[in-house]
Amino acid sequence: MEFQVQRDVLSEAVAWVVRGLTNRPPVPVLAGVRLVADPAGTLTLSAFDYEVSGEVTVEADVVTGGEALVLGRLLSEISRSLPDKPVRIQQDGGKLQVTCGSSRFALLEMPLADYPSLPTSPEASGTVDGALFTKAVAQVSVAADRSDALPILTGVHVEFDGERITMLATDRYRMARRDLTWTPRDPSAHHVALVPSRTLSDTAKSLGAVGSVDIALGDEAGGKGLIGFAAGQRHSTTRLLDGEYPKVSSIFPTTSDVDAVMETGALVEAIKRVSLVAERTTPVRLRFTPGSVAIEAGTGDDAQASEAVECTLDGDEIDVAFNPGFLLDGLGALGTPFARMSFTQPGKPALLTGQAEADGEADDAFSYVIMPVRFPGA
């Protein structure tokens, strides 16, 4: 095997396929990236660790076709550090010689016979706008559990029902839901997938900028328990999480007794400043009165801070406290100039939505529910 490829093309391709590889694979060969040079003028790179697969095809000047398996992260680091010149790669006695300008590297090949076969290329069940998909995943994934205490909560519950996709995530303390549309191949089809949040986020970020994203479900993804994504010449599959996701949809409030609308940026900055005097999990208190919301942190002999932000209040005055990190996550995910907080009672979950104008309607495509906490001394 011998071929030449542009440095940036190689670097970007290798970085994309190794993004999902674990640092400590159960079998050494799973740390590898397979390179397949086609005399037709293409180079295909792929990686697979039984959980996530990635494959990308790029143009290359192929002198001799063939395939090789080398350490993925090492190849990624090398290709990223090479000078901006064409890269020539060729096999030579069990090693892969990488030459770029005066830089030369020799990578030991790994046994191809021990490398597992990738899942079959997924067949699209439907298509979604890439930018919309990326934004939706980023919005809901902030609420997914980051610990392994309950593995099922580390996933994003994705339901495909006709032309609508509904994403849900929760870590028991907050919940996020995002509705968006897609173009299914079969409008009557219904699928449910529990996708690892971290993998879904990485996939959405890397594919969304390409344009539209094809999504493959069920048998069309290459087998039961898989979901597939494709955009351009990039293809990826992910193994789904097992288990039944908790039925959290009913927790999202459908009515409210109190609604408060604030400028999102001003509220975020105020919470950040006030929470400087609080420990990471110490709550901040929000006192909603006509015209303003007072944000407070710290009590007794501890450091204290307070700040007021303009607010339009519809309903009775209300006093409630939240984990500042969870509240900032929700506000940061809105992506709208104004934020609306809706309440029923001080001890009940609060609903956070966004809106384009101060006196406009709430955009319920994305909603974030956060559980209040007890404020010390209250």
Q: Which residue ranges form the domains of the chain, and what is each CATH number?
A: 2-114 (3.10.150.10), 126-249 (3.10.150.10), 252-370 (3.10.150.10)
Q: What per-residue string of b and e applies to 222-260 under the rule 16 or more CB within 10 Å gives b?
A: beeebbbbbbeebbbbbbbbeeebeeeeeebbeebebbb
Tokens of 129: 């706008």
Bridge partners of residue 209, in order along the sequence: none
- The span from the CA of 217 to the CA of 112, in Å, is 29
For the chain, the residue count is 378
d(CA 225, CA 144): 20
Give the distance between the most distant pair of CA atoms in the chain.
79
Instruction: Tell me which residue of 133, 132, 191 sits closest to 161, measured CA to CA.
Output: 191
- CB 288, CB 272: distance < 8 Å: no
List per-residue pLDDT tens for the chain, 378 residues long.
999 999 999 999 999 999 878 878 889 999 999 999 999 999 999 999 888 999 999 999 999 999 999 999 999 999 999 999 999 999 998 999 999 999 999 999 999 999 998 887 667 899 999 999 999 999 999 999 988 788 999 999 999 999 999 999 999 999 999 999 999 999 998 999 999 999 999 999 988 777 899 999 876 555 578 899 999 899 999 999 998 898 888 888 888 999 999 999 999 999 999 999 887 778 999 999 999 999 999 877 778 899 999 999 999 999 999 999 999 999 999 999 999 999 988 888 999 999 999 999 999 999 999 999 987 655
pLDDT at 162: 94
Q: What is the C-alpha to C-alpha distance for residues 316 and 314, in angstroms, rounded to an integer?
A: 7
Whole-model pTM: value is: 0.90
**Cα 99 from Cα 91, distance rounded (Å):** 12
Closest CA to 133 of 180, 88, 174, 80: 180
Question: What pLDDT was estimated at residue 222?
Answer: 54
What pLDDT does residue 223 have?
58
> What is the reported pLDDT for 25?
86
* CB 312, CB 335: distance < 8 Å: no
What is residue 345's predicted lDDT score, i.e. its pLDDT? 83
Per-residue pLDDT, 121: 64
Residue 139's nearest CA partner among 363, 356, 317 is 363
Question: CB-based contacts of 301: which residues, under 8 Å, 6+ apart?
Answer: none
Provide Rg for the chain, Cα atoms. 25
Q: Are 238 and 203 in contact (CB under 8 A)?
A: yes
